[in-house]
Every structure is written in C-alpha cells, then in structure tokens.
Amino acid sequence: MTIRTVVNGRPVTEPIPVRWTLAEFVRDRLGLTGTKLSCGMQVCGVCTVLVDGRPVSACSYLAVDVDGCEVTTIEGLADAGSLHPIQAAFVDHFALQCGFCTPGFIMMAKSLLDENPRPTRKDVVDYLDGNICRCTGYQPIIDAIVDASERMTP
Amino acid sequence: MTRSAGRSVPRSDARAKVTGEAKYAVDASRPEMLHATIVRSDRAHALIKDIDTAEAAAIPGVSAVITSDDLDGLFPRFGHIVADHPILAIDRVRYYGEPVAMVLAASRHTAADAARLVRVSYEGLPEVMSIAAALEEGAPLLHEERYDHGDESFGEAMSDDWSPSNIAHEVCLEWGDVDAAFTDATEIVETTTHYPMLYAYAMEPYNALATFDEGALEVITTAQHPYQVREDLARIFDLPLAAVRVTSPFLGGGYGSKSYTKVEPLAAVGAWFSRRPVKLALDVEEAIYTTRADSATVTVKSAFGADGMLTARDFQLDLDSGAYADNGPLVLAKAVHRCFGPYRIPNLRVRGRSFYTNTTPASSYRGFGAPQGNLAGELNMDQAAERLGIDPGEIRRRNLLLPGEEVLPGARPLDADLPADLEMVLESLDSSRPRGPLHGIGFGASASDAGAFPVSTATIKVHADGSVTLLTGSTEMGQGSQTALAQIAATELGVPLGSVRVLQSDTAITPYERTTGASRTTTLTGLAIQRACADALEKMMAMVSESREVPVEDVKTSDGVISIPGGGDLTFAEAVQDWFGSRAGEVTGVGIVRKADSTAMLPPFWEIGMVGVEVSVDAETGYVTVDHLATVGDVGYAINPALVEGQDLGAATQGLGAALFEQLIYDGPQPLNPNVVDYRVPRSRDVPRTIDTMLAERRDGVGPYGAKGSGEGALNPIGGAVAAAVGRAIGRWPDRLPLTPEYVWRLMHMETEAE
Ligand code: FES
Ligand code: FES
C-alpha cells in the first residue's frame, strides 16, 4: 500500500509492503539508519521515534500506521548542522559509549522535555524505564537530560 | 599548547553518535544484496536424519537453501583455539539454536518465511545439560573426534594420550606444599559458590555483510578482533590473508562477546555460494544462541594462621562451557590465574576444568573468567574474617600483595598499590560507621593478568598540509579508543587534537592488531602509537636536515614544530612539502609492540579491580537495593579521565546486573529466557543513589605516561562485594548469584525455619 507521511519535515509518499514495521520503513526505504533495532519486542527503546510527537517503538509499529502522520527520527533533530541542546548535552556528559542506544534515549528525552520542560531527576529516571543502555550505567544519560532541560528553559 | 593526554576531552565519535550518522555494521548494505536467515536446531542433542529444503527453495524470491552438504571444497568448521564449530551442523546438532541451514532471499521477510518451511528430521540423542550430567559415568559424549588446533599454546588438548571426554579442558596451577600448610593451619575456611550463566547483551546483535569479488572476500562485521576473524575465514576458503578483508565499523557494544569468529563464516558461505553480497543480521534470541558466558561452580579452601595471614589456598573451578570450544579454553586458563586474589599465598593449588554440555557455546565476556572465581575467593575472605574475628578490611590489608611483589612465578611483579586502593574504597563507604538492620557493606579486590599477548602495530601519516591520520586495528566498541588514541598521537606529535583523524579496524588498510580485548588498547596500542609518532618525527627531522642542509643532530622538534639552528622553524606541512619539492607527499611513521623490551614480561600489566557497595534489603520482599557504589580505577595514568570513569561505571553496572538479576536459565534442553524481557539487565531505576568513581594515577603502568588498562577491573569483584554486603545485611552468607528477591527472601527465612 502507499503511505503519505512527513518524515523529519519532508513529505514522503511511498508504496510499501503492509507487513513492514516503521523501523524497516525508515531504515531500509528511507536510509535513515540512525534508528536502531535490538530487542525487537518493545523493551529496549533503541528504536524510539516520534509519531505526531509521541514516542513509539519503531520495531513494533506498523509502517502503514504512520499514513497521514508526522514522523521524527534522530536525523531530524539537529538543525542545519547545529546540535539540538539534548544532543549537545549528551556529548558534554559522555552520555554515550557504543552509541547504539543513544538515538532512542535522545528521542525519548525529546518527548519528555516537550511534555515536561523541567522534569525532576526522578521524572527522568521513570520516563527512561523503557530504554536500556548496556554501556554507561545510565548516570551520565540522566545527568545529560537534566542539564539539557536547564539549557532549554533557563 | 595544552597537551591532549590527561584531559577529559569530548569523545571524537560523540557527534556522529548523537545525530544518528554513526555507521554500524548493521547499517551496511550493498546493491544486489541477499538476506540470510538461519534455520536453527530445536533439539539440544540429535543426529540429523534429513533436511528437506524443497518447499523453502520453491518460494518466489528465495535464491538458495544451504546446508553443510553444500560446503564441498571448503574447510567446514571454525574456531581459533579448536576448530570444532561447524559453520552449519554436520550430521549432528549439539545445542538448541545451532545453525542447521541457511536461506538466502531477496528480502528478509521472504528468507524468514522460507526458513520456516525447511523440514529437518532428527533422531534424538541423550542430552548433557549440566556439569553433573557431563561427569556421570557413561554420560553421552559431545565430541568424539579430534579437531585441528588453531592455537598451539593449548597443547594439552593435542597431547598423545587424548581420549574423548566431556571435560573440554583442564588447567592447573600449583606452588608450595598445600597439603602440609593445611595440616598446620589455625583455621581452615571453605566456601562454595555458583556463578550464573550470562548473556553479555551487546545491544547490536551479531551481524555481517559478506561479498566475494574477484577471488577476494570482504566482510563488514560486528567483530572486536577483525584480524582473528580473517584467519578463520582464510582457512575456510583456503585464501591468503591478503585476500580476506574484514572491517569492523563502530560496534554496538562488545564487552568481549564479539571476540573471535561468530556469524562471519555463515555470511561468507552465503556470498561464496550465491556470488552475491549476503547480509546476515541476528536478533537477540539468536545472539543468545551464538555466545554466552561460562557459569561456574567454585570451591575454595583457605588455610590461615592465628594472625589472619593466608598460608594456603586450594581452588576447584568447574566451568560449564557449552557445546563448542570457542574461547572457552582461554577463559578457563584466565579463571585459574585470576581466582586466588591479589593476595600473598605461600602455597597454592588451583584445579580448573571446563565441560562440554548441550548448551550455547560459552566464550569471552568482560572480566574473562575472573568474576566466577573472584566471587568464591572474596566471599571466602569475608567468611574467614568473621571466623577469625578480624575486620574484613583488616584481613585484606594483611594479605594484599604490595607493589612489586610477585603475583605468579615468572610473571610481571605487581604494578599497583592495592592497600592504597583499598583505603580509598573503605573511606568512600565510611566503613567503620555502624549500619542499621538490613543494611550492609561489602567490598572486594581482584587482579587480572590483562593485556593479552602483546602484538600491536600502528601507523601515523603526516600529510602535506600537516594534518595527521592515525591507522590502528583496534576496534571502537564504545570504550572510546578513537578518542584516547588520538589524544596520545596528538600529545606525541605536539599537534592539536583536531588535526588527528583515526581510522580503525579494516584488515586491508589498518596495521595488524591482535585483539581489542583484555583491556589492552590504551596500553599496547597506545605504545605502538607513541613509537609510530617517534618514527614519523624522526623521519621529518631527517627530511629537514636534508632539505635545509643542517646536521640531523641539530634538528629539534616540539609542539608540532621542527626547528633548525638560526631560528628557522618549520611546520610539519613545510617539512613535508620542502622535501618532496611540491605541495605533495606524506610521511609515514610505524610503531610496533611485541613481546620484547618493556613488554617482554607478561602480563603487560595487572588490571586491578577494587570496589565497594552498600546495600539495603527489603524486609518484606528480599529486594536488594544498591545505595552506594565505589570503584577505584587503578589505571596508572588516565589519558582521558572521563572515559576511564565511564568504563568503570559501565563495568560495575554490568557486574551489578550479574549480582542481582541476570541469569540464563535452561529448562531441559531449551533456554527459558532467551530475550531481554525475561533476561533482566540493569535499567535506569537500578542506578545506585551514590556513585563514587575514583581514579588512582600512580604512573606505574607500562603504557604511555604510565598508563594501564581499564574496562574489566570494576566488574570482577562486584559480585563478591554485593554478596558480602547482602550477607552482612541479612546475617547469612549467600552462595550464589544472582541475588534475586526470591533467593534473598529464602535465605532470610531459612534461618528462622531451622531454629
Ligand atoms: S528494538 Fe524496539 S524496543 Fe527494542
Ligand atoms: S552506549 Fe552502548 S548501549 Fe548505551
């Protein structure tokens, strides 16, 4: 079936197999490989993208369901080469090692800060319950998101 | 100019990783590429009677269904120590999930659909699902034939009196007169512990993209050690090393689990068979069927004098290594060398055995045999302290090795100050403060013979504009080698960090690196880079001497400038361009590290683990919360302190996972929890309330500026520390990990029942 969607601000009309997941659509069809895949069952969060501003697990979300929606992936965050404040905070806090979980965490953080611009540390921890990082021990990620919220709403 | 080394400069790969531009193996694709799906055994031990591929092959879009019968002319197995692992099962399967056939199709979905239609008929064999079963009289044998050996240092498996057995390997270590020491002991303390079967869960599951082109094989893969994979592939296809190109882009986690060959032979066989590029990307469940870490039962008996001094230790380690050798023999050897602790032990005996069982093959995982033995060894010290009425910090103080003391006969003396590290942890824990009920502290130490065999090479290119390329075969898997190695090069050459670009892990282009593991990169690759920089500088000075006609001994260099008498200063760009006589050319510096000079003595360094925790236990549920985590990174010199602290916190967190939640469970022939819903890893809510990552920089290592490696140390003693803390909190010593609420609750209530 053909879907019409807006991905990172760009209108896209593409015929796709109905069984494709959103992850397959953005990675394999659009070449947006920043969205990663790991658990494949909605527990690790590496595949998180925003659909109409809400975070979804692209591994378990059918691509046909974004017909008529706006999709934001990690590639849509930086503005003309300058990093989004969340991205900048991740760099500054060493909030990544292998980086495989990073796009998912950043998209989740974006969704959190859109909803709640000044979350407490506990809010951040709770919001990240669906994201796994196997490298960092989480603390630098939590620090980065708290710092980003301060940078964005001084 | 500020020197790069020693500063927490931002990671050079951070920008690519936060924008999604960073490329991992799984992101690679090629035109005309086929997708592979593996048909896996649903038996743990069986003979293959027939594989019916007809129905699968008839599906539109399917290019081929490959079984071991199609591998004619190839060497059909791999394994860097013992070549026992069939690429596709040959006549027999030995564990649930073993690859039996491979389907190639134009799309992933088609391949997966067709794979379901491949019908395999089996004739069941009795299964060996545990060490106890492996040892039983008349137990079925997993392996009855002798295989080729890739690594002759495991000669014991090649000896003439070899006979088939489920004991895969045995490694023993002994000095002094252990039996006499036990006879004379004031106190003998015996401890038995069980360490769980683990899955490393590197978040990018194993994957590879293989292409055969003009007789050469190219594989882009998730391999920590591309050079080791290259050797296995060269043997399979009978190709010279030069015709096999293995590339490892950014790895989505490794932690040892991506050491050595995994999925590369499958993808390569697909490409060889189909003459098309073939991509094989596993999911997490399949990754669990590819590699896990050894579970272990360890018994230690220690003899003490009345003064609390160790007089002897006797260890028995039994590791469940699964169906094939992989790196298991080396893990066993390391477990044997790492179990007895960084203590002064006049009489020692360690007997280690690893067993074949019908389970996923075990291999390397962060810590590499150390955590398994350390759990028993350190809990044993805590129990001894209790029995002898000595403070657990004090008993360690008395027995810890001092700087320069011998750890192992003939090995490098201890290059660390353990008593000083211990005081840092005790202070962080405020160890003398009394704890309330259901609160406890625990701490522990380890020393690992790290660094592996020293073979590293590095190349530095200074280009005509003065910018620099650093080529290294060391893989960036998250540890930050790309950044730290550039810092070393920038410091040595005296150039800004921004002018150094790093290219890693492409066997056709980068210079040889034995492995990226054993915490060796900063130390050994770092040394090779220092030498490569010195070589490049020397060449540039010789070039300036020639082009400016001054004696070479009058040419000097510092801070990225080459100076000659009379005040003439040349930039690197001028030095290169002058000599080549145009805006062209480049200077190549080469650096080599081998078992010679400062790295003649093994291990290249001792990797220290010194950690402490405070825990609280919920009275109702037995749930353990880690309130305080303290780690000491005894790294000699931190090239990038933030990276080292990141390694320590990451390693400690993985250790906490094993201590509290993680275990792969076999229910009969099949794993019960081969997914990350049921295999629970630490999450954001599990982060300890207080985290104290300390660094000890005494410049006592053999690496650049006195550096030693890190990355595994903080994991090794965590299990024992948490077990001791929980033991103190509930008044009963645990004898196994993970310390799940159910197990802790049972422990808490066992006592009351017994009373
Ligand atoms: S891959 Fe989608 S949640 Fe894990
Ligand atoms: S940085 Fe590696 S999984 Fe998070």
Q: What is the mean pLDDT of residues B698-713?
A: 96
**How far are the Cα atoms of B330, B377, B403, B626, B651 from residue B336, in angstroms, in the given order?**
10, 12, 22, 29, 21
| Four-point Cα dihedral B358, B363, B368, B373, nearest 10 | 10
Suggest the residue from B19, B113, B209, B284 to mutate for an interface test with chain A (most A CBs closer than 10 A): B19
For the domain B453-599, what is the CATH code?
A: 3.30.365.10
pLDDT > 70? residue B159? no
Q: Which residues of B touch A92 (CB under 8 A)?
A: 10
Mutation test residue for ligand 1: of A21, A36, A42, the one with most atoms within 8 Å of CB: A42
B724, B481, B745: which is closest to B614 by C-alpha?
B724
Q: What is the mean pLDDT of residues B612-620?
A: 98
Instruction: Please confirm whether the linkage preceding B603 is cis (ω < 30° from 0).
Output: yes
- One digit per residue, pLDDT tens: chain A, 154 residues? 999 999 999 999 999 999 999 999 999 999 999 999 999 999 999 999 999 999 999 999 999 999 999 999 999 999 888 999 999 999 999 999 999 999 999 999 999 999 999 999 999 999 999 999 999 999 999 999 999 999 999 8
Q: What is the mean pLDDT of residues B151-173?
A: 76
- The ligand placed nearest to the CA atom of residue B203 is 2
Model-level pTM?
0.97
Taking only the tens place, the pLDDT of each residue in B652-694 is 999 999 999 999 999 999 999 999 999 999 999 999 999 999 9
Q: How much of chain B, in percent, has pLDDT values that exceed 90?
A: 94
Q: How far apart are CA A11 and CA B4, in angstroms?
A: 45
pLDDT > 80? residue B751? no
B546, B550, B574: which is closest to B560 by C-alpha?
B574
DSSP state of A79: B
The per-residue pLDDT for B146 is 85
Ligand 2 lining (C-beta closer than 6 Å):
A 96-101, 133-136; B 203, 253, 478
Q: What is the mean pLDDT of residues B422-439?
A: 97
Q: What is the mean pLDDT of residues B91-95?
A: 98
Hey, are the CB atoms on A129 and B649 less than 8 Å from each other?
A: no
CATH fourth-level superfamily of A85-152: [2Fe-2S]-binding domain (1.10.150.120)
What ipTM, to 2 d.p.? 0.99
The per-residue pLDDT for B184 is 96
pLDDT > 60? residue B550? yes
Q: For B52, left (φ over 0), alpha (ψ -120 to 50), or beta?
A: beta
Q: Which residues pair with B461 in a beta bridge?
A: B469, B588
Name every residue whose Cβ is closer than 8 Å to that of residue B682 and which is 6 or more positions away in sequence: A137, A138, B653, B654, B656, B657, B660, B661
pLDDT > 90? residue B279? yes
List, in sequence order, the alpha helices (H) in B632-740. Answer: 641-660, 718-730
- The ligand placed nearest to the CA atom of residue A101 is 2
For the domain B25-127+201-290, what is the CATH code?
A: 3.90.1170.50
List, in sequence order, the alpha helices (H) in B185-263. Answer: 226-237
Q: Where are the domains of chain A?
A: 2-76, 85-152
Q: How many CB atoms lie within 10 A of CB A119?
A: 18
Q: How much of chain B, in percent, has pLDDT values that exceed 70?
A: 98
Taking only the tens place, the pLDDT of each residue in B182-240 is 999 999 999 999 999 999 999 999 999 999 998 999 999 999 999 999 999 999 999 99
Q: Where are the domains of chain B?
A: 25-127+201-290, 453-599
pLDDT > 60? residue B157? no
Q: What's the B647 CA to ligand 2 centre distance in angstroms?
A: 11
Name which of B20, B202, B686 is nearest A103 (Cβ-Cβ): B20
pLDDT band at B752 (very low <50, low <70, confident <90, very high): low
The per-residue pLDDT for B147 is 87
The per-residue pLDDT for B191 is 98
User: Looking at ligand 2, which atom is closest to the CA of residue A97?
Assistant: 1
Q: What is the mean pLDDT of residues B625-636?
A: 98
pLDDT band at B755 (very low <50, low <70, confident <90, very high): very low
**Which CATH number, 1.10.1490.10, 3.10.20.30, 3.40.50.300, 3.40.640.10, labels domain A2-76?**
3.10.20.30
A–B interface: beta-carbon pairs under 8 A: 161
Identify the helix (H) or strand (E) that includes residue B484: helix B481-493
Q: How far apart are CA B229 and CA B234, in angstroms?
A: 9
The per-residue pLDDT for B518 is 87
A81, A54, A79: which is closest to A66 by C-alpha?
A54
Residue B387, both tokens? 């029995």
User: Looking at ligand 2, which atom is closest to the CA of residue A141?
Assistant: 4
Taking only the tens place, the pLDDT of each residue in B325-345 is 999 999 999 999 999 989 999
Taking only the tens place, the pLDDT of each residue in B363-405 is 999 999 999 999 999 999 999 999 999 999 999 999 999 999 9
Q: How many CB atoms lie within 10 A of CB A78?
A: 17
Q: What's the A123 CA to ligand 1 centre distance in angstroms?
A: 22
Q: How far apart are CA B614 and CA B644, in angstroms?
A: 22
Name every residue whose Cβ is closer than 8 Å to that of residue A151 and which is 6 or more positions away in sequence: A85, A88, A89
Contact yes or no for B11/A94 (Cβ under 8 A): yes
Same fold, A2-76 and A85-152: no
Q: What is the mean pLDDT of residues B69-85?
A: 95
The per-residue pLDDT for B8 is 98
Whole-number mean pLDDT of chain B?
96
The per-residue pLDDT for B151 is 64
Identify the helix (H) or strand (E) that includes residue A104: helix A102-115
